[in-house]
Amino acid sequence: MKPNLTRLAGDLAGGLTAGIIALPLALAFGVASGAGALAGVYGAITLGLVAALLGGTRVQISGPTGPMTIVFASALTLLGNNLSLVMLVVLVAGLFQLLLAALRAGALVRFIPYPVISGFMTGIGGIILVLQLAPLLGHSAASAPLQALLLLPQQLQTINLQALLLGGITLLLVFLTPASISRWLPSPLIALVICTLLSLHFAMDVPVIGSLSTALPEFQLPSFALDQWTLIFTLGLTLAVLGSIDSLLTSLVADSITHTHHQPNRELMGQGLGNLLCAFIGGLPGAGATLRTVVNVKAGGNSRLSGVIHALVLLGLLLGLAPLAENIPLAVLAGILLKVGVDILDGRIFRMAKVLPRSEFAILLTVLLLTFFTDLVIAVTAGVILAMGIVTWRLAQQAQVHFDANHELPSLNRQTEGVRILHIKGPLFFGSTSHLLDRIEAVDELLDTRQIILDCRKIQLLDASALLMLDEAVAHYQQRGLNVELVVRPHLRNQLLEARLPHIHADLVFTHLDQAVQNQPT
């Protein structure tokens, strides 16, 4: 274990570096959200501090992120730019995250298919890229990606060349700064300082952040509107689910580079409380931030203290540098956010497109397009439903039925004429029952069959659909004058009998195949 002083020095370095890189991002996310630059800083300080103290990942740095900012901006548009009402959405999101923590749902994030996550995050990255084109050209940002694309031809005819120049220099700096430099001095901060100084030195006529308060945020209650409660509820749930996924995926990244294990439900609790407090101070909601977390660890952060220091650094920068931040050009923030958008795009899975099953790639594209052109909730919901449908179909294809005619059992020492044993294999559940029932019922069309034995010993569990299917199969054979027995595992025999099915009785269900054959009529 590292000496205490060494660990403390690592936390100081990690927290300081993470705080410095978080400042330009917080300002940029605040502006992009429509709530103002300070909303991003307030959110980064509040969530960063609370999640560091109470969360379940020791080295995680939390704050506004690209996906959360896009959902917040959409909520602001849908609620008529009523910021107080949008803070109710943030409050609902925090409560949902606390509920998820109480229900111990933290581990469920592992069950969301990767194509759904990839398509969603790539769609979010695309939205950020499209929405930041207007500020890069010196114009006001649109509220939706489709609107931004429609306005782009007109904006290209009236470009603010000075804004474009600053944005271009920003892009060069954030993309081309060597890793050896950005490791110690983050490239977004370099671009922010250099381009802002250039703008001031040459008195460029470009849109800037504008007046910022140096005061601490004031406590305020969000507005309540019962007539829009359904929309508020849906948007809050979207923020909660997205923030939880984002945070827990970042926790997995932190685990992989620190060789530790996070506590997912505690992490949800910390994120929920942090976002809850953001709602009362006008802060932008957020989640665990992968880039800032990795920067923290690489700089030496090894405990919760690094996250606390990150929040305190932001607080100090807010109180001391707010007047200077007023002159930051919006084109510079747009350049920084374009880098964020590119980083969110999941290029890995597109490089794997040739080897991916077509169904998975179709899910990815569906979620991506729905995210970009419609609604974030619809995108994730549709992706999960499609993924579940494909899994159900694949499992159903594994279910098999084959039969043995005139089967001879060595232990009985005689031929069992007219006995057909149907071996049912694979998962027997709602997705496979209809297909299997058709095959089972077709067997009695063969000649010389007087006894049917349904061998279900390779089935581990039965859902409601499977129970009803077996009962229907037994009824089908009995109506044709055949003797029917079932052979199942002992625990499934109890389940079958306790289900009180109309055609399946104790004298028809066995746990050994030879018992069922011996039960044939003379």
- The angle at the Cα of 136, spanning 135 to 141, to the nearest 5 degrees, equals 20
Q: pTM for this structure?
A: 0.70
Q: How confident is the model at residue 52 (pLDDT cuts 50, 70, 90)?
A: very high
Residues 420 and 327 in one domain: no
β pairing state of 408-409 and 414-415: antiparallel
* pLDDT reported for residue 2: 47
pLDDT at 190 over 70: yes
Is 220 domain-assigned?
Answer: no
Higher per-residue confidence, 288 vs 222? 288
pLDDT at 412 over 70: no
Higher per-residue confidence, 169 vs 417? 169
Is 213 domain-assigned?
Answer: no
DSSP string, 326-384: TT-BHHHHHHHHHHHHHHHS-HHHHHTTTTS-HHHHHHHHHHHHHHHHS-HHHHHHHHH
- Using DSSP's 3-state secondary structure scheme, residue 102 falls into helix
pLDDT at 92 over 90: yes
Residues 292 and 426 in one domain: no
Q: How confident is the model at residue 406 (pLDDT cuts 50, 70, 90)?
A: very low
Q: Please name the residues in contact with 105: beta carbons below 8 A apart, sequence gap of 6 or more.
A: 265, 268
* Contact (CB, 8 A) for 436 and 457: no
Q: Please name the residues in contact with 364: beta carbons below 8 A apart, sequence gap of 6 or more.
A: 115, 116, 118, 119, 122, 349
* Contact (CB, 8 A) for 29 and 324: no
Residue type at position 491: H
pLDDT at 421 over 90: no
Q: What is the mean pLDDT of residues 124-129?
A: 85
- C-alpha distances in angstroms, 395 versus 108, 334, 336, 379, 436? 21, 47, 45, 24, 12
d(CA 193, CA 492): 70
Per the structure, the count of domains in the chain is: 2
Tokens of 448: 């010389």
* pLDDT reported for residue 454: 87
Chain mean position to CA 175: 27
Residues 298 and 277 in one domain: yes
Is 222 domain-assigned?
Answer: no
Residues 239 and 279 in one domain: yes
d(CA 431, CA 428): 8
Residues 187 and 53 in one domain: yes
The CATH number that applies at residue 475 is 3.30.750.24
* pLDDT reported for residue 432: 65
pLDDT tens-digit series, residues 135-145: 999 998 877 78
Task: Scan for tokens 């580079």, then name that residue.
Answer: 257
Is 333 domain-assigned?
Answer: yes
pLDDT at 230 over 60: yes
Of 357, 391, 425, the last residue of a domain is 391
Residues 11 and 59 in one domain: yes
pLDDT tens-digit series, residues 250-306: 888 788 778 888 899 999 999 999 999 999 999 999 999 887 888 788 777 889 999
* pLDDT reported for residue 415: 45
Q: Which among 46, 47, 40, 48 has a CA at the least distance from the CA of 23?
A: 40
To the nearest 10°, the Cα dihedral for 353, 356, 357, 363? -60
Is 408 domain-assigned?
Answer: yes
Residues 192 and 271 in one domain: yes
d(CA 396, CA 431): 5
- When the pLDDT of each residue in the chain is averaged and rounded to a whole number, the result is 84
Of 333, 366, 391, the last residue of a domain is 391
Higher per-residue confidence, 409 vs 89? 89
Q: How confident is the model at residue 422 (pLDDT cuts 50, 70, 90)?
A: confident
pLDDT at 1 over 50: no
pLDDT at 522 over 50: no
Residues 364 and 425 in one domain: no
Say what percent of the chain tops pLDDT 90: 30
Residues 275 and 403 in one domain: no
The domain in which residue 132 lies consists of: 4-207+229-391
Is 217 domain-assigned?
Answer: no
Most confidently modeled range among 3-17, 43-57, 122-136, 508-522: 43-57
Q: Where are the beta strands (DSSP E) in 129-191?
A: none
Is 507 domain-assigned?
Answer: yes
Tokens of 492: 């499934």
Q: Which among 340, 313, 336, 319 has a CA at the least distance from the CA of 14?
A: 313
- C-alpha distances in angstroms, 65 versus 41, 62, 71, 81, 128? 12, 9, 10, 20, 11
Is 212 domain-assigned?
Answer: no
pLDDT tens-digit series, residues 322-338: 677 788 898 998 898 89
Higher per-residue confidence, 269 vs 1? 269
Residue type at position 223: S
Q: Which among 225, 273, 309 has a CA at the least distance from the CA of 51?
A: 273
Higher per-residue confidence, 113 vs 475? 475
Q: What are phi and psi of 416, to 5 degrees?
A: -105, 85
Residues 149 and 265 in one domain: yes
Q: What is the DSSP letter of 225?
A: -
Residues 288 and 371 in one domain: yes
Residues 360 and 424 in one domain: no
* pLDDT reported for residue 512: 87
Of 370, 391, 412, the last residue of a domain is 391
Q: What is the mean pLDDT of residues 408-423?
A: 59
